[in-house]
């Protein structure tokens, strides 16, 4: 081919092609840029560029009161915002020494597990889309809608939820919320089964995902993998079990693990986790129903310094008015201390490292963002593979640009 082209004197013939994928490419599902070196269709190397939607959350947090930081956490992993919100509340509660009632813990678990299901559902159905199966994605979206309706009933919003407060929830779950939850619990297992039937033993899907994007357990640990990606490689590390928060120790569930750490195993682990989440929600719902008397209406802990009083009380009671004023004007000093708290997010261990110097805003807040940490492994995962597999690998890692760039 090159006989017709005269190369300038002294130039070296380049055998690879440089391809710029992203930052706004429909296949990358988010703002990700990769400059890939390709040999034919095989990936020789790649360099990721991140930071396109960096919003300086850590700096912003240094001037906000604790309750004002919750909306920031929404925008980390926006596929499962409630987990981020709860993680933040739990961090604050750990710093402040707030003990939450059991009913609050169980309600939180219901919401967190719903969020986990919606997160995994998106990730797995997108893996399906990238391997050429659009049906699954469109089909399951209406069931994610059911989850979003439950959020809406509890907190009023759907995607960036800002759900809950320090100490509990802003209002009790309504009967409609429980009705919607029952509907979800009744309908979803059938759908999940169908979704699995569509993919799990599908020849095309298996051929596309098995042995692509694989990582060994040892490398995964060294790369700081957590969550389903680590479990797919065979390490049974789950924050919910290792450092239980929000009364996860009261529940029985399994930690699904994979073996090879490839795209197929990640898919299977996420699917299994959805079943486990369903199982946890059922248990939690039963426990919530078992509360009797005054306990059955508890939805927040007694922390007047941080929990906004009811509006009716603010207008009629002195005490409530004072607390309302103090909270809104940010006149409550935090105790001094350093605390690290982590929760099992949709895609891994989401950690909050909060340093308070006794002021009204955090002195320093650092988010341990799982996808920022495991995205480093991407070049290693796709090296030598096909370009089309690289796209599947990216989806199957469950990368969320909002979390990556913070």
Partner 1 sequence: MSLTNEQIQQALITKFGEAVFNFEETYGMLCFEAAKENNLKVLQYLQDDPELSFNFLTDLCAVNYPDNKGKELAVVYHLHNLRKNVRIRFKIFTSIDQPDVFTASKMFSAADWMERETFDFYGVNFVGHHNLKRILNVDEMDYFPLRKEYPLEDQTRIDKDDAMFGRG
Asked whether the beta carbons of 367 and 57 are under 8 A apart, the reply is yes
Give least dist CB 215 to partner 1, A: 11
DSSP state of 160: S
List all residues 6 or more positions away from 153 whose beta carbon is below 8 Å from its beta carbon: 173, 174, 176, 177, 180
337 sits near partner 1 (criterion: CB under 8 A): yes
Coil, helix or strand at residue 342: strand
Whether the upstream peptide bond of residue 162 has omega within 30° of 0, thus cis, is: no
Which of 216, 222, 289, 302 is close enough to bind partner 1 by CB under 8 A? 222
CB 16 within 8 A of CB 38: yes
Neighbouring residues of 277: CB distance < 8 A, sequence distance ≥ 6: 113, 114, 116, 117, 120
38 φ/ψ angles, rounded to the nearest 5 degrees: -115, 140
Q: Using the rule CB under 8 A, which residue among 24, 54, 290, 358 binds partner 1?
A: 54
- Binding to partner 1 (CB under 8 A): which residues in 365-384? 366, 368, 372-373, 375-377
56-115: contacts with partner 1 (CB under 8 A): 56, 58-60, 62-63, 94-95
**Rounded Cα gap, residues 214 and 141, in angstroms:** 28
Q: Which of 91, 151, 90 is nearest to 118 (CA)?
A: 151
Binding window for partner 1 (CB under 8 A); candidates: 5-13, 33-41, 217-225, 298-306: 217-225
183 binds partner 1 (CB under 8 A): no
Tell me whether residue 212 or residue 371 sits nearer to partner 1 (CB atom).
Answer: 371
Pairwise CA distance, residues 355 & 365, whole Å: 6
Binding segment toward partner 1, per CB under 8 A, in 15-23, 245-253, 339-347, 394-402: 339-347
**195 near partner 1, rule: CB under 8 A:** no
> In the bound complex, what is the minimum distance in angstroms from residue 346's beta carbon to partner 1?
18
Q: Of these, 106, 223, 285, 323, which contacts partner 1 (CB under 8 A)?
A: 223
Q: For residues 51 and 156, which CB has a smaller minimum distance to partner 1 in the complex?
A: 51
Q: Does 148 bind partner 1 (CB under 8 A)?
A: no
Choose the stretch contacting partner 1; rule: CB under 8 A; options: 17-25, 255-263, 297-305, 359-367.
Answer: 359-367
Q: Which residues, 6+ apart, have CB-to-CB distance to 157 below 8 Å?
A: 151, 163
Quote the CA–CA distance of 221 and 233 in Å, as a whole number: 9
Distance CA 209, CA 267 (A): 9
Nearer to partner 1, 44 or 198 (CB): 44
Instruction: Count residues near partner 1 (CB under 8 A).
Output: 40
Which of these, 4, 9, 32, lies nearest to 390 by C-alpha position?
A: 32
Which residues, 6+ apart, have CB-to-CB distance to 4 below 8 Å?
A: none
Nearer to partner 1 by Cβ, of 197 and 376: the residue is: 376
Q: How far is the CB of 400 from partner 1 (least distance, A)?
A: 15
- Minimum CB distance to partner 1, residue 50 (Å): 6
Interaction between residue 349 and partner 1 (CB under 8 A): yes
Task: Check binding of 359 to partner 1 (CB under 8 A).
Answer: no
Shortest Cβ 316–partner 1 spacing (Å): 32
Residues 341/352, Cβ–Cβ less than 8 Å: yes
Instruction: Give the shortest CB-63-to-partner 1 separation in angstroms.
Output: 5
Q: From CA 61, how far away is CA 56, in angstroms rounded?
A: 9
User: Interface with partner 1 includes 235 (CB under 8 A)?
Assistant: yes
Interface contacts to partner 1, rule CB under 8 A: 50-51, 54, 56, 58-60, 62-63, 94-95, 219, 221-224, 235, 237, 242-243, 337-340, 342, 349, 351, 353, 355, 363-364, 366, 368, 372-373, 375-377, 405-406
């Amino acid at each position: 081919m090159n006989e017709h082209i005269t190369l300038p004197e002294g130039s070296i013939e380049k055998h690879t092609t440089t391809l710029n994928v992203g930052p706004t490419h429909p296949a990358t599902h988010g703002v990700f840029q990769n400059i890939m070196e390709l040999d034919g269709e095989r990936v020789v190397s790649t360099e990721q560029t991140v930071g396109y939607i960096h919003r300086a959350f850590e700096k912003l947090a240094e001037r906000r009161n604790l309750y004002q930081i919750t909306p920031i956490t929404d925008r980390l992993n926006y596929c499962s915002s409630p987990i981020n919100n709860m993680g933040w509340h739990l961090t604050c509660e750990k710093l402040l020494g707030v003990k939450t009632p059991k009913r609050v813990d169980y309600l939180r678990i219901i919401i967190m597990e719903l969020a986990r299901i919606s997160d995994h559902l998106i990730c797995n159905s997108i893996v399906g889309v990238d391997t050429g199966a659009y049906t699954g994605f469109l089909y399951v979206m209406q069931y994610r809608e059911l989850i979003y309706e439950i959020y809406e009933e509890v907190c009023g919003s759907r995607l960036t939820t800002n759900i809950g407060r320090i100490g509990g929830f802003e209002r009790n779950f309504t009967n409609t919320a429980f009705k919607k939850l029952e509907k979800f619990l009744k309908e979803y297992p059938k759908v999940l089964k169908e979704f699995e039937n569509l993919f799990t033993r599908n020849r095309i899907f298996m051929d596309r995902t098995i042995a692509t994007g694989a990582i060994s357990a040892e490398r995964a640990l060294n790369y700081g993998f957590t969550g389903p990606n680590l479990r797919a490689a065979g390490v049974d590390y789950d924050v919910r079990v290792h450092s239980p928060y929000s009364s996860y120790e009261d529940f029985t569930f399994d930690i699904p693990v994979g073996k090879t750490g490839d795209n197929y195993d990640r898919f299977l682990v996420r699917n299994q986790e959805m079943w486990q989440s369903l199982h946890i929600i059922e248990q939690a719902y039963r426990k919530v129903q078992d509360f009797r008397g005054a306990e059955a209406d508890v939805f927040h802990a007694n922390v007047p310094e941080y929990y906004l009083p009811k509006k009716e009380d603010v207008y009629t009671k002195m005490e409530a008015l004072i607390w309302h004023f103090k909270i809104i004007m940010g006149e409550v000093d935090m105790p001094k201390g350093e605390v690290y708290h982590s929760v099992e997010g949709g895609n891994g261990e989401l950690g909050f490292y909060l340093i308070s110097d006794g002021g009204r805003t955090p002195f320093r807040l650092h988010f341990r963002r799982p996808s920022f940490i495991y995205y480093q492994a991407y070049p290693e995962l796709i090296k030598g593979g096909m370009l089309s597999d690289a796209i599947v690998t990216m989806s199957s890692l469950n990368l969320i640009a909002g979390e990556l760039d913070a």
